[in-house]
Amino acid sequence: MAFKANKSEWSELYVFLRLLTDGKLYLGNHRGEKSERSFWPISVIEREEHDGPRRYYIEEDKVRVEGKEDYIKLHRVALAVMADKVLDLIKSNNEEEIECPEDIEKFLDTAKILYLEPETQDRTDLKISFWSPHKIPTGFIIQSKLAPMRPLLDGGRSANLKLELTGARKFAQPEIENINALETNETVRDRMLLIQEMDGVLRYSDVADRVFRCNLSMIDLHFARILAEMVRTFHVEGKSRVYEVMNLIKKENPIKIKEDLIQKHRFYEYKMKQFLMAATCGMRPAKIFNGEDSAVEGMLVVGSEGQIIGYHKDERKAFEDFLYLNTRFIKGSQEKDKYGFLEREHGTYFFKLNVKIGLTKR
């Protein structure tokens, strides 16, 4: 009986098959475009399976597969055919769950591929050795525009930032209730604007989660305040791209640094790029981040037509610039993440904002 899998799972299988077929990874530039003359030859791809890690050694015409007990060879021409079929399968289906065709299922059985989307403890999707099979494999995560993309930072309630309600007057309980009862297409924005109309002021106070507060401090002791102002601006101004929001933040200068730092040293951009790299390669709101490298060293980005480009820490400038120009703030679930309303803590009211960041779709 044929099984079903979602588009993210099919996308991961497609990337794996395409890289085995091509035997090289094209690097991307800051705009998310493939550099035709810049690529790294692939020697080995390591992938988790049901019985442990397997290594796929790329030879001239075949791929040699070595696992715990397996030793098989796959023709690269056959892999190319399957990669094309999987890509067509994804692009031709509007449903999120896609049934596996008989010919692809037969191939997966022959190739002993049980998991379309391997589960790993270190968050990597694939490990790749370049140039030589003796090199230590590099861990990559996959972001595919053929499927709903996973956020780069999605910490739930742990990623909430607290704004304290201040102002010239004290809000009465019925006023608080009216603010929290407001429901519109832009609820978070309109509640903040209503507070402002009622002469209330929302000032940055703290990070809701202790671990996330420390993680943000690793970027800069003032970064949590910068991030809070960016998320506030995202909601109020309706701009989602990180670099667009940052252009507004630079004018506001929330931490009141000197103009030379802003214009000549590009302080705000520099700190945001550090944060985006950390979030992409390992930082999580509820997990202690100490600045050390994680198993994730790069990212594979799949375009809407199936083209694959790579970014790696060794090409740091291109990686950082790509993230800065091609990420956006995302609105998470208010109900699930518990933000966007006034909440009383120890006699003081706070309005929480949630940080969620992902790649742009285009």
pLDDT higher than 90, residue 23: yes
* pLDDT tens-digit readout, 300-337: 999 999 999 999 999 999 999 999 999 999 999 999 99
Q: Which of 31-40, 160-169, 253-262, 314-323 has the lowest mean pLDDT?
A: 31-40
The structure tokens listed for 316 are 């740091």
Q: What are the domain boundaries of the chain?
A: 4-144, 153-293+313-359
pLDDT digits (tens, 9 = 90+) for 113-153: 888 888 787 889 999 999 988 888 999 999 999 999 999 99
The confidence band for 49, taking pLDDT boundaries of 50, 70 and 90, is confident
153-154, strands of its sheet edge to edge: 153-154, 356-359, 327-329
What local confidence, expressed as pLDDT, does residue 155 receive? 80
Tell me the per-residue pLDDT of 227-236, one tens digit each, with 9 for 90 and over: 999 999 999 9
pLDDT at 1 over 70: no
How high is the pLDDT of residue 172? 94
| Per-residue model confidence (pLDDT) at position 169 | 85
Taking the C-alpha atoms of residue 136 and residue 295, their distance in angstroms, rounded to an integer, is: 11
b/e map of 104-132 (b: 16 or more CB within 10 Å)? beebbeebebeebbbeeeeebbbbbbbee
pTM of the model: 0.93
Alpha-carbon span 30 to 20, nearest angstrom: 25
So what's the pLDDT on residue 293? Answer: 79
Q: Are 29 and 320 in contact (CB under 8 A)?
A: no
The per-residue pLDDT of the chain, averaged, comes to 94
Lowest mean pLDDT among 70-79, 224-233, 267-276, 334-343: 70-79
pLDDT of residue 87 exceeding 80: yes
**Alpha-carbon gap, residue 324 to 272, rounded angstroms:** 8
Place of tokens 């609105």: 331
Model pLDDT, residue 43 = 97
Average pLDDT of the segment spanning 340-346? 95
**What band does 51 get if pLDDT is binned at 50, 70 and 90?**
confident
pLDDT average, residue stretch 270-274: 98
76-98 burial string, b = 16+ CB within 10 Å, else e? Answer: bebbeebbebbbebbeeeeeeeb
Residue 86 has what pLDDT?
Answer: 97
Most confidently modeled range among 45-49, 93-97, 335-339: 335-339
Q: What pLDDT is attached to residue 141?
A: 95
